[in-house]
Chain A
């Protein structure tokens, strides 16, 4: 089983649509969870951290279910500029302990006019 598994997509949606990405992780000892965004052949950039209580940042909402080892990202009112690959990332260390990041394969999103 892959350490972090995502639907590869691509997701093709019209502007203004709501789109949801799912991710599962295999290591129950995972401590910290993130969504990164990667534009074509560029570096991963942090989109948001994911907290157990769920958290929202503008149009983006992240949820974590530790019991199911499941993470989600919801994007509302999608924009053309949201087109990118969304990476689900986990680490077995808390933020400040220098732990390696384990990346999923990424889910490609294409937002069309």
Chain B
């Protein structure tokens, strides 16, 4: 079964540094998403992306964050000037347009800000 893949599985970064999280969505999916889950808390929506632009973003997704689809396969989340509170699991997800299947999640990147 096709999977959403994310790299790296764990990223440790100094506070104030920039980090890029990478995702390869399922190949015939057209909607892409980023979610995050702070330890012990619920999964929270960050942003959705369709047709090479952001279709929706949450209050969490401020100017510190950006997303990009740099080529035909990758979908990235960039966090500029990371803060301690950015430490979380970040999940990428994708979905089709013409299917009754909901979003498929990657296995996540654990981001630790020191």
Known contacts A42-B107, A100-B33; is-contact A95 B102 (Cβ 8 Å): yes
What are 8 A-B pairs with beta-carbon distances under 8 A?
Answer: A38-B43, A42-B107, A43-B91, A96-B97, A100-B45, A100-B56, A101-B93, A102-B45
Residues of chain B whose beta carbon lies under 8 Å from any beta carbon of chain A: 30-31, 33, 35, 41-45, 48, 50, 55-56, 58, 89, 91, 93, 95-108, 110
**Using a Cβ–Cβ cut-off of 8 Å, how many residues does chain A contribute to the interface with B?**
23
Q: Indicate if the CB atoms of A101 and B91 lie closer than 8 Å.
A: no
Write out, one digit per residue, whether chain A residues 38-57 have a CB within 8 A of any chain B CB (1) or not (0): 10011111100100000000
Q: Indicate if the CB atoms of A96 and B107 lie closer than 8 Å.
A: no
In the complex, chain A residues whose CB is within 8 Å of the CB of B105: 43-45
Q: Indicate if the CB atoms of A32 and B102 lie closer than 8 Å.
A: yes
Give Cα A49 to B56, complex, Å: 23
Contact of A34 with B by CB under 8 A: yes
8 Å CB contact of A96 from B98, B104, B106:
B98
In the complex, chain A residues whose CB is within 8 Å of the CB of B43: 38, 44, 87, 101, 103
Chain A residue nearest to B6 (CB atoms) is A43
